[in-house]
Amino acid sequence: MATLDSKIPSGPLAEKWRKHKTEIKLVNPANKRKYEVIVVGAGLAGSSAASSLADLGYKVKCFVFHDSPRRAHSIAAQGGINAAKNYQNDGDSVHRLFYDTLKGGDYRAREANVHRLAEVSVNIIDQCVAQGVPFAREYGGLLANRSFGGAQVSRTFYARGQTGQQLLLGAYSALSRMVGAGAVDLHTNSEMLDLVVVGGQAKGVIIRNLVTGEITRHSADAVILATGGYGNVFNLSTYARGSNATAIWRAYKRGACMANPCYTQIHPTCIPVSGDYQSKLTLMSESLRNDGRIWAPKKAGDTRAPAAIPESERDYYLERLYPSFGNLAPRDIASRAAKRVCDEGRGVGSTGLGVYLDFADAIKRLGEPAVRERYGNLFDIYHEITAESAYKAPMRIYPAVHYTMGGLWVDYNLMSNIPGLFVLGEANFSDHGANRLGASALMQGLADGYFVIPYTIGDYLAGQKPGSRPAAEAPEFQQAEANVRGQTTRFLATKGKQPVSHFHKKLGKIMWDRCGMARTKAGLEAALQEIPALREEFNASVNVPGSADTLNQSLEQAGRVADFLDLGELMCRDALTREESCGGHFREEHQYPDGECKRDDEKFGHVAAWEYQGEGKTPVRNTEALNYEFTKMSVRNYK
């Protein structure tokens, strides 16, 4: 059994991080260049980490499967990034951001981690502005803010509807500077396909060059995974098509524990599915809920055009159910409310799986130009996809998979249970509990990369003798490489009947039906039969054309879908075992009469960290108790 020591420092909550920074071991500047660190991923978390570590003097090698670091999925974040600056003087503070995030996560995150996140949030904004991130400003020249779900203050910084893009380009410019200076050795089109563990410690990776097919071994003193989330298990999601779980899944198979895999976030405001050819779902940023009002017809089966439905026959259900948060209720709550409305037959659009997000009042109040200034690009996206104008008629929206709170287990230093393996950003499980609040993933990614890992990696490296990293010829590297080659050969040799996409779609449907917005014991048990059966079919009849020594997108996809099949099964297992509802994990058996989540803190006030036991064996479920020293785990109330 893995030992899960969270290494949370002692002392008062607000002092822990400061104290920890003064107590952890440091690597002296002259020694830093003797350590080599591998960073896999260059989204917000990876590029901020790689550039900061290189700036400190470490030798950094960075791998991304994209053709450029600037294409990481972080680029797509729209709405904004939270920080406890209190520039609006509306009562915000580090403590309030901490509390909102912890409560938003339905009390399933660690207090100490969340507090640290809130503390460094203020430095992130400073850092980004210094890099030239063009955040929105007021006429006086100061930074502007907007509100996001689950908060009653205005603490979200944004750059039009492209906040993630601007933050990533900031981090990318920092990374580019270090690449230009020769301090980061950047490898694009390079996919990590295995983790190499030597003597119980993470010491390297196996990389496949996606363009040439070449497979190489890379040894290092420590390995950082910043490879993003795994929402594409569901096939349809708001993620980029290429986002995948391969890096974390292969690390899991090497012994890293996978924490709370069932915690997934379903975002309430996405453009509904239009057909079975659909490849992705497009998010309509949560920021729209600042001014848009969500409603559905009161009557089931009402097919009138929205304009023909009089005010008195509309149900602004979020405003009705959650008067104090209204349209800004947290995501999990807003998504389930939309699902219920549609389950009652009150959904809109041709599929009946949709509700309205209406800007008519905002346009009346602010005028169309002001609405255009705030949300113009989102309205444009909506128009491109649906050929409808949201200035004239309400948007149709429906929930879609958007984020994964689960991920590899890490301690307070962001190190997994495999010493030397660090996990940052969405790939880890650390800060969002069972539900992430809007605008806090960008915050976490940059916190991890700019402000946490530069300190905490030293604590591990100081214990490693400089120059002691193994040679890439070590048997562990050879074995891992053989493992990768074996899989590639198997895929190409199967020569079955079905394209990879066939299996991905089928898996996605199982996951959405059984492990989506509402989960039941029976459904999850069924999924645990269906997924292994689908895996067998995949192994027997997948068709991967082409060869291994050129760009082969089918081959890339085959590896990713194979991992999704395994991970999907683990998610269902985790969801089945967690006999409670919390945040994004909603078990129909566990709810209050009003349909809200019913947690069981006594039995499940813990992190579940799954440990791989080998092919075909049931994994072991380890737990880390969540000890709340400063906050009371209470029932979330947004009414």
Partner 1 sequence: MVAASTLKTFSVTLRVWRQAGPAATGAFVDYPAKDISPDMSFLEMLDVVNDELTAKGIEPIAFAHDCREGICGTCSCTINGKPHGPGKGIATCQTYMRSFNDGDTIVVEPFRARAFPVVKDLVTDRAAFDKIQQSGGFITARAGSAPDANALPIPKGDADLAMDAAQCIGCGACVAACKNASAMLFVSAKVGHLGLLPQGQAERDRRVLAMVNTMDTLGFGSCTNQYECSAACPKLISHDFIARMNRDYLTASLRSAFKPAPANTGGGAA
Ligand X SMILES: Cc1cc2nc3c(=O)[nH]c(=O)nc-3n(C[C@H](O)[C@H](O)[C@H](O)COP(=O)(O)OP(=O)(O)OC[C@H]3O[C@@H](n4cnc5c(N)ncnc54)[C@H](O)[C@@H]3O)c2cc1C
Partner from partner 1, ligand X, none contacting 362, C-beta within 5 to 8 A by type: none
Only one of the segments 180-188, 396-404, 432-440, 568-576 lies at the binding site for partner 1 (rule: CB under 8 A); that segment is 180-188
227 binding partner (options ligand X, partner 1, none; Cβ < 5 to 8 Å by kind): ligand X
Q: Is 135 in the site for partner 1 (CB under 8 A)?
A: yes
Question: Would you give the binding string for partner 1 spanning residues 416-455, x where CB under 8 A is met?
Answer: ----------------------------------xx--x-
The secondary structure of 224-259 as a DSSP string is EE-----GGGGSSSSS-TT--SHHHHHHHHTTPPEE
Question: Binding string, 195-234, against partner 1, x = CB under 8 A?
Answer: ----------------x-----------------------
- The nearest distance, CB 622 to ligand X, in angstroms, is 24
Residues from 245 through 274 that contact partner 1 (CB under 8 A): 274
Binding partner 1 (rule: CB under 8 A), the pick from 44, 128, 262, 397 is 128
The minimum distance between CB 579 and ligand X, in angstroms, equals: 28
Q: Locate tokens 């992130």: which residue?
A: 124
Residue 201 vs 227, nearer CB to partner 1:
227
Q: 191 pairs with which residues across the strands? A: 208
Q: Which is nearer to ligand X, 78 or 416 (CB)?
A: 78
541 is an interface residue for partner 1 by CB under 8 A: no
The residues in 86-125 that bind partner 1, with binding defined as CB under 8 A, are 87, 123, 125
Residues within window 51-90 making contact with partner 1, judged by CB under 8 A: 51-52, 54-57, 66-71, 73, 75-76, 85, 87
Q: Return the number of the residue (78 or 622) whose C-beta is nearest ligand X.
A: 78
* Given 277, 473, 594, 602, the residue binding partner 1 (CB under 8 A): 277
Phi, then psi, of 265 in degrees rounded to 5? -105, 130
User: Please, what is the Cα angle at 511 between 506 and 514, to 5 degrees?
Assistant: 120
Q: Bridge-partner residues for 146, per DSSP?
A: 156
Nearer to partner 1 by Cβ, of 302 and 537: the residue is 537
Which residues, numbered 472-531, are part of the site for partner 1 (CB under 8 A)? 497, 499, 501-502
Task: Using alpha carbons, select from 420, 409, 428 the residue that is nearest to residue 626.
Answer: 409
List beta partners, residue 422: 224, 415
Phi, psi (degrees; rounded to nearest 5) at 460:
-80, -50
Residue closer to partner 1, measured from CB, 138 or 600: 138
Q: Going by C-beta distance under 8 Å and a sequence separation of 6 or more, which residues neighbour residue 591?
A: 581, 597, 598
22 interacts with partner 1 by CB under 8 A: no
- Short-list 194, 196, 176, CA closest to 186: 176
**HSE toward the beta carbon, residue 66, CA cutoff 13 A:** 22
Residues 150-169 within binding reach of partner 1 (CB under 8 A)? 159-160, 162, 165-166, 169
For 255, residues 6+ apart whose C-beta sits below 8 A from its C-beta are 2, 197, 417, 418, 611, 612
538 binds partner 1 (CB under 8 A): no
The DSSP bridge partners found for residue 314 are: 297
Nearest alpha-carbon partner for 619 in 573, 564, 572: 573
Smallest distance, Å, CB 65 to ligand X? 4
Span of 546-554, 571-579, 580-588, 604-612 interacting with partner 1 by CB under 8 A: 546-554
Strand partners, 283: 270
Tokens of 194: 């295995």
400: number of Cβ within 10 Å: 28
Annotated catalytic residue, options 289, 331, 346, 560: 331
**Does residue 550 bind partner 1 (CB under 8 A)?**
yes
Is 519 assigned a catalytic role? Answer: no
- Six-digit token pair at 360? 């008519």
Q: What is the DSSP letter of 452?
A: I
CA 175 – CA 170 distance, rounded (Å) = 9
Distances (CA, A) of 444 to 67, 134, 251, 285, 454: 25, 20, 21, 18, 14
98: helix, coil or strand?
helix
What is the closest distance, in whole angstroms, from the C-beta atom of residue 99 to ligand X in the complex?
18
- Binder among 8, 14, 26, 129 for partner 1 (CB under 8 A): 129
Q: Which amino acid is at 15?
A: E
Three-state secondary structure readout of 307-370: HHCCHHHEECHHHHHCCCCHHHCCHHHHHHHHHHHHHCCCCCCCCCCCEEEECHHHHHHHCHHH
**Nearest C-alpha neighbor of 606 from the set 569, 560, 574:** 574
Among 10, 15, 90, 132, binds partner 1 (CB under 8 A): 132
Q: From residue 453 to residue 472, what is the string marking binding to partner 1 with x (rule CB under 8 A)?
A: -x------------------
Closest CB 19 distance from ligand X, rounded Å = 27
* Binds partner 1 by CB under 8 A, chosen from 11, 18, 278, 307: 278
Residues that bind ligand X (CB under 6 A): 40-46, 63-66, 72-74, 76-81, 163-164, 191-192, 226-229, 238-239, 243-244, 246-247, 283, 402-403, 425-427, 439-442, 445
Active-site amino acid positions = 331
